[in-house]
Structure 1
Amino acid sequence: MREKAVPTMDSRERSDIADDARGGRGTEPMPRRSRDLLAPRLARTILLAALLSYTLITMLNILSTTISTTQTVVALGSLGAILGLQLKHSAAGANRMPLRVKSLTLSVQALLTYVPFTVFHTGWGSMAGFLAGSVLLLLRPRTGWTLYGLVGLSMLVPPLLDRLPVLDVIYVCQSTLLTGLVTYGLSRLNELVSEVHAARGELARMAVTKERLRFARDLHDLLGFSLSAITLKSELIHRLIPAHPQRAMNEIQEVLAVSRESLADVRRVASGFQNMSLEQEISSAQSVLNSADIGVDVMVSLTGISPQSDTVLATVLREAVTNLLRHSRAGHCTIHAVQRAGRVSLLVINDGIEPGYRDPSPHSGSGLGNLEARVRAIGGEVEAAGGADRTFRLRAEVPSHPSAAAASLAEEIAEIRDPAA
């Protein structure tokens, strides 16, 4: 008997498969590291520069007065200690320190702030601003703002004791409050920039996870049916070869067609393009079910639905037929697709459920969770239940033309919560 020529892949198809194996036809260059990645470091630098500037101003005020060497050394040591405490208070997460630790450090800073006023008077004024900023950073808002105001008012005393003019008294008080606000604002800015930078990394990881979920879900939904069909038809071919070689050749042609379609599905998944046709899936399902000697009753009444609804219902049908082949011993299947009043309803009923039956495959996970996420994403609903007469009924209803904006948002939420992970 003359053998029929088996279609072979041309060089372009082989190249496509090789590209798929490498992960795609081309790789986009990695984006360069943007300047805004230095934002946390820049925020810390600005904060440190401001604190050093205030400390330097106070140091210059001290050095400009006539004091002994011992007093100068004590003053410089106190300035260094206050700067160290302020850096600790301005660090990210400092407000989460235990209350005991915060009370201790604030007490030490208050002591180092007010005691030198007995010697240096108004020349020590900037350091009170650090204390005002620290109480805002470490304490609860009500307590912090109250103490902040009290620190500012306390700065009225030194200039009054020095018998300075009223404008100088107001200046010392106002500069203390301003220094406190600047210290508080720059410290909080540094913390917020660090949090935003960390959140951006987390968003990038979420985007990668989301894409992995999409890829896993689509591989399950698109390839589950195709691989089940190839397995079923291969078993049929094995039985037909001895007695019906011609029919076996026809079935081989169908297996090749299904395998090519599976390859196209993989490419669509990789590129994010997932449009499918319900009517084509119904025709494919009929062919597969007939090969399995399962009777099929089909009724289709569709006048035009959106590609999104068409794709979702085609996916539902694929999963229904895949589950039928893997989890039942059905002899008959009913597929009805009806459109009315702006809604499209797909009903799949099959018999032959075996309550104790389990698929022997070690990875026989259910895709009903995927279907529920897809259908709800476009404002539809899905029901699946077994009947007392050993029948299984799967019904999905979706809008003929779902809102694009709402469907897009719902799809993103569904992908993040997709149980296929």
Structure 2
Amino acid sequence: MRNFPAPRLARIILTAALTGYLSVTIINLVGTEPRPPQLLASLGCLGLIFLLQLRHSGSGARRAPVRQRALTLSAQALLTYLPITVFQSQWGAMAGFLAGSLLLLLPSRWAWPAYGAVGLTMLIPPTLEGRSVQETVYLCQSTLLTGLVVYGLSRMAELVQALHETRGQLAGMAVTKERLRFARDLHDLLGYSLSAITLKSELIHRLIPAHPKRAMDEVREVLTISRQSLADVRSVSSGLRHMSLEQELGSAQSLLQAADVDVRVDIRLGKLDQQVDSMLAAVLREAVTNLLRHSRAGSCRMEAVEEAGWVRLSVVNDGVDPAYRDASPDSGSGLGNLRARLRTASGRLTVSRGPADTFRLTAEAPAQPRQGLAAPRRGQRSAQDPAA
């Protein structure tokens, strides 16, 4: 990005090039020793052509109304061809400006034929003057070359301006993306942690009268969860958060057992990619959070299995209220966040309801996504989010 000229510099280069062509024409005209009225008139025409060309080379010229473009192009054509009757070949360089303007303002199917036609018209003045074939061809060629230079520099200035604006937009998008990452990570982390703290606090409240010793044990666990939550928030702010699926399975099992849920865990994992490990751990946290918030589960089965280079995490629980619907504005944002994350690692998330008010959440991802494994060929389940 640093190698591209700034928009202002691009416009300066364009203006300098146009001024250079203009000065060459002025030198040629002075060499013909015109009378003062003719010289003043020619300078006035050159000034008008220069202003018109600056307008045609502007970034918004192509988007101008058709009538306006037709008017300015017609004016430039008159200022180009009328002085040729007086100055002949010495005025021919201005035809290059007209050729460039035609390329800039007309649709492609008309622009290039018109551009070629302007170049061919420049064969006429030197022929009428009796100049050599070389001089005749040179005037035609220089006209076409000038048109290309004008067109190229004008487009360059426009593209540099667009690039400069896009860079600002990309910077804004990067900030927005980082904000979304921060909000998503906080949701994944604190939703689970706060649910665990709430559940254990309710348990402590029930245990204090009859089992104060066990209540103290639960208080220590709440303190541990609180400290871990604080550490997680700090790691989110630095963007260096890493979670372990196996550790989260153990934590989830302990938490659900404290809520009197019968838990069965099946873990058959190898070495996982760090990104996949953290994503599946976040999926598990969201699944447990939803289970505690939206169901009266009596049993839960959690399975984490690696097969054929793919990792499958499955959480199945009962106790789902079939009439439950979460109407809050943030309903479903957790699962939506997780789906977006899994897609970045070529994975997928599916949820479904089964018989007897059961709920199943399944997340699949390649164990080593850098290997570019193909997705499993088995039929994909419905990805519709039930209200759970």
SS in 2 for 1:305: coil
SS in 2 for 1:398: strand
**Identity across aligned pairs (percent)?**
61
Out of 148, 153, 167, the position equivalent to 1:200 is: 167
- Aligned partner of 1:370 in structure 2 is 337
- Aligned partner of 2:202 in structure 1 is 235
Distance 1:64 1:376, change over 3 A: closer
Cα distance in 1 for residues equivalent to 2:32 and 2:24: 13
Q: Are residue 344 (structure 1) and residue 306 (structure 2) matched?
A: no
- Aligned partner of 2:385 in structure 1 is none
Shift of 1:218: 1.5
- Aligned partner of 2:280 in structure 1 is 313
Shift of 1:406: 8.1
Cα distance in 1 for residues equivalent to 2:35 and 2:329: 85
- Aligned partner of 1:260 in structure 2 is 227
Question: Cα deviation per residue 1:275-301 (whole Å; 9 max; x = unaligned)?
Answer: 211221111112211222222122223
What letter is aligned with 1:323?
A: N
SS in 2 for 1:382: strand
What letter is aligned with 2:88?
A: H
Partners of 1:326 and 1:359 within 8 A in 2: no
Question: Cα deviation per residue 1:13-41 (whole Å; 9 max; x = unaligned)?
Answer: xxxxxxxxxxxxxxxxxxxxx96575211
Cα distance in 1 for residues equivalent to 2:210 and 2:275: 45
Q: CA RMSD in A?
A: 2.3
Cα distance in 2 for residues equivalent to 1:358 and 1:190: 56
Q: Are residue 180 (structure 1) and residue 126 (structure 2) matched?
A: no
Partners of 1:328 and 1:357 within 8 A in 2: no
Partners of 1:351 and 1:392 within 8 A in 2: yes
Cα distance in 2 for residues equivalent to 1:87 and 1:117: 22
Distance 1:266 1:108, change over 3 A: same
Partners of 1:89 and 1:138 within 8 A in 2: yes
Distance 1:290 1:359, change over 3 A: farther
Matched ranges for 1:5-404 at <5 A = 39-357=6-324, 365-403=332-370
SS in 2 for 1:275: coil
What letter is aligned with 2:164?
A: H
Q: Where in structure 1 are there 5+ consecutive unaligned residues?
A: 1-33, 408-421
Cα distance in 1 for residues equivalent to 2:323 and 2:65: 58
Question: Cα deviation per residue 1:192-250 (whole Å; 9 max; x = unaligned)?
Answer: 11122222222222222222222222211122111111111122222323333222211
Distance 1:364 1:183, change over 3 A: closer
Q: Where in structure 2 are there 5+ consecutive unaligned residues?
A: 375-388
SS in 2 for 1:242: helix
Deviates more, 1:128-137 or 1:377-386: 377-386
Distance 1:206 1:362, change over 3 A: closer
Cα distance in 2 for residues equivalent to 1:372 and 1:107: 58
SS in 1 for 2:363: strand
Distance 1:35 1:279, change over 3 A: closer
Cα distance in 2 for residues equivalent to 1:135 and 1:334: 72
Partners of 2:366 and 2:373 within 8 A in 1: no
Partners of 2:5 and 2:160 within 8 A in 1: no
Partners of 2:96 and 2:143 within 8 A in 1: yes
Partners of 1:106 and 1:134 within 8 A in 2: yes
Partners of 1:319 and 1:367 within 8 A in 2: yes
Shift of 1:171: 2.3
Cα distance in 2 for residues equivalent to 1:94 and 1:361: 49
Shift of 1:273: 2.1
Cα distance in 2 for residues equivalent to 1:406 and 1:332: 34
Distance 1:283 1:142, change over 3 A: same
What letter is aligned with 2:226?
A: S
TM-score, scaled to structure 2: 0.89
Shift of 1:392: 0.8
Distance 1:340 1:185, change over 3 A: closer
Distance 1:304 1:51, change over 3 A: closer
TM-score, scaled to structure 1: 0.82
SS in 1 for 2:209: coil
Cα distance in 1 for residues equivalent to 2:336 and 2:71: 55
What letter is aligned with 1:74?
A: A
Partners of 1:324 and 1:350 within 8 A in 2: yes
SS in 2 for 1:229: helix
Distance 1:352 1:177, change over 3 A: same
Shift of 1:362: 7.2
Cα distance in 2 for residues equivalent to 1:361 and 1:116: 75
Distance 1:129 1:343, change over 3 A: closer
SS in 2 for 1:352: coil
Deviates more, 1:300-309 or 1:97-106: 300-309
Distance 1:399 1:162, change over 3 A: closer
